[in-house]
A and B are shown apart, each in its own frame.
Chain A
Amino acid sequence: MIDTKIDVLKLLYEICEDDLLYEKDIDLIESGILDSYAFIELFSRLEDYGINIQPTRIDRNKLRTIKGIEQLIEENTK
């Protein structure tokens, strides 16, 4: 399992190199950070870590924040 707190941010930054990520309370969907490319990369890279998240079976609102994604990872690694 990956240490979520820092890694999700790091992972997302690696994927999209978007400075908006460091803005406080940024909504990852509204801001366009999690666009189609970042979406595919995020889910595929998590899969590489052995975390298989099905986009259709999650609460989409959790994708809006780093914290939400950390929760998703946690839920899917139990």
Chain B
Amino acid sequence: MLKKIKEAVEKNPNSVAYKNSDESITYGQLWKRAFYYAQFLKKQGSSPVIIYGHKNVSVIISILACLIADRTYVPIGECTPIYRLKKIAEITKSTLILSDNDISNIEVDYCNLDGLIRYKNNKIKNQENDIVYIIFTSGSTGIPKGVPISKKNLNNFINWINNLKPLCDFKNIKVLNQASFSFDLSVADLYYSLCNGHTLVAFDGDVQDNYDDIFKAFLEVDFAVMTPTFMKICLLNDDFNERKFPKFKCVYFCGEQLEKKLVQKIFTSFPNLQIINAYGPTEATSAVSAINITKDMLEKEEILPVGEINNFATLIEIVNDEIILKGDSVFNGYLLNYDGGHYWENDINCYKTGDVGYIKDGKLYCKGRKDNQIKYKGYRIELADIESNINLIDGIASSVVLAKYDDKKVNVKTIQAFVMVDKKIDIGYIKKELEKLIPKYMMPKMIKIVDKLPINHNGKIDRKALNRL
């Protein structure tokens, strides 16, 4: 994959590799600066390098520097509280954090890219490294789960996405990046763009707060990688249509269920837009399947498919209604041997996704989850992660966290927490303490203090009864 990026650099040194609303960098400059920082990184041991930031050019330089220096990188979004960042640094045993933010209170030394502050206690020897990046997702114990992705995993993904129709036909295009680099939807746009010499146009912030910037970006982008929610917000404006944005010709969705109603709306505003619907968990490198959504599917299909059997990135099987992934896309197990759906079968990595799905007429469909994991605002959240963190707060005896769905039972509309207290504390205090422990997107919208939590006849918390409260 690094070879492909290098080829793109040599071929188009003066084309823009990456831009956001304030800055941009060419392939030549990007390589030069990344190469420079890589020399520094090579002398700094071999522990994973945490990249704590958002969409600054320095983040892209840091990622490429890690690739060149053969150091694993761990992208962490700025919305992650310092407490959780420290937990992650403990898990990865990272001794170096690259960031433009002031995080001097974190105790792990950090490195400001402009200042190149060195970490003092690094005595680890350089080792051959197989892991390219580690993405952290919500873990049910309250400690984030690290998913290490190897070179083999990533190369397999890149080969797959590079051959997807119509992506394989695009030349010198502009690609929109919506997701944060800590969310592995971005792996699709980042690597597809850099490996093919395209320009990655990053969108920063919430679209509803910043329509001007996103519509400015859409005037120039040919292809966009985004969540369906992002598209829904754009489409609230009648002005978002093919006549006004004639360059925009293809969209790649992943990370959330794509509803027929949304596709109908897209085709009304953009009748010629090519829609790719992709599917895959972080544990199998961003995505493992994709399919072009056509107008006739709106009539024929009950739910929209997420893949075609002849075009899977890795082996996909359905066992007891659950989607099971096997092969080169699948990671080699969580950090700290966290118990999850990973297992081996004759030395082949396999992963039980927890997603309920089926294969019919050569197409893959995904219906939802088997467990309490939810998708909220595009983020994957274990409700038990929130519970475990609430329970850390002084004065809390126990808690239950629930997700409430909309009438269609598709989107989570809110997260609610019911807590029992053993001290006199109020909701304001609980919220303030919880904000220090978990990212904002995981915060329950409603917290209720209750005298007792309803128990069902199995002795377990009765979630249904709570839902009626």
With a CB–CB cut-off of 8 A, which chain A residues contact B229?
A: 36-37, 40
30 A-B contacts, Cβ less than 8 Å apart?
Answer: A15-B413, A16-B413, A16-B414, A17-B414, A17-B416, A17-B445, A17-B446, A18-B414, A18-B446, A19-B427, A19-B445, A19-B447, A29-B209, A32-B443, A33-B445, A36-B206, A36-B377, A37-B229, A39-B208, A40-B229, A40-B232, A44-B236, A54-B236, A55-B208, A55-B211, A55-B236, A56-B211, A56-B212, A56-B239, A60-B209
A27 at the A/B interface (Cβ < 8 Å)? no
B404 touches A35 (CB 8 A): no
B370 at the A/B interface (Cβ < 8 Å)? no
The proximity string for B residues 190-221 relative to A, scoring 1 for CB distances below 8 Å and 0 otherwise, is 00000000000000001111011001000000
**Dominant SS among interface residues on chain B:** mixed
**B contact set with A: CB distance below 8 Å:** 206-209, 211-212, 215, 229-230, 232-233, 236-239, 377, 404, 406, 411-414, 416, 427, 440, 443, 445-447
A55 touches B413 (CB 8 A): no
B237 touches A55 (CB 8 A): yes
With a CB–CB cut-off of 8 A, which chain B residues contact A17?
A: 404, 413-414, 416, 445-446
A56 touches B215 (CB 8 A): yes
**Dominant SS among interface residues on chain A:** helix
Closest to B446 in A: A19
Q: Which among A16, A19, A29, A39 is the interface contact of B233 at CB below 8 angstroms? A: A39
A1 to B445 Cα, complex, angstroms = 29
The size of the chain A interface, using a CB distance under 8 A, is 23
Residue of A18, A36, A39 ringed by the most chain B CB atoms within 10 A? A36
With a CB–CB cut-off of 8 A, which chain B residues contact A55?
A: 208, 211, 233, 236-237
- Smallest CB–CB gap between A61 and chain B, Å? 12
The proximity string for A residues 42-60 relative to B, scoring 1 for CB distances below 8 Å and 0 otherwise, is 0110000000101110001
Sort A-B residue pairs by CB-CB distance and give the 4 closest, nearest first: A18-B445, A39-B208, A17-B414, A56-B211
A15 to B404 Cα, complex, angstroms = 11
Closest to A43 in B: B236
A33 to B211 Cα, complex, angstroms = 19
A37 to B413 Cα, complex, angstroms = 7
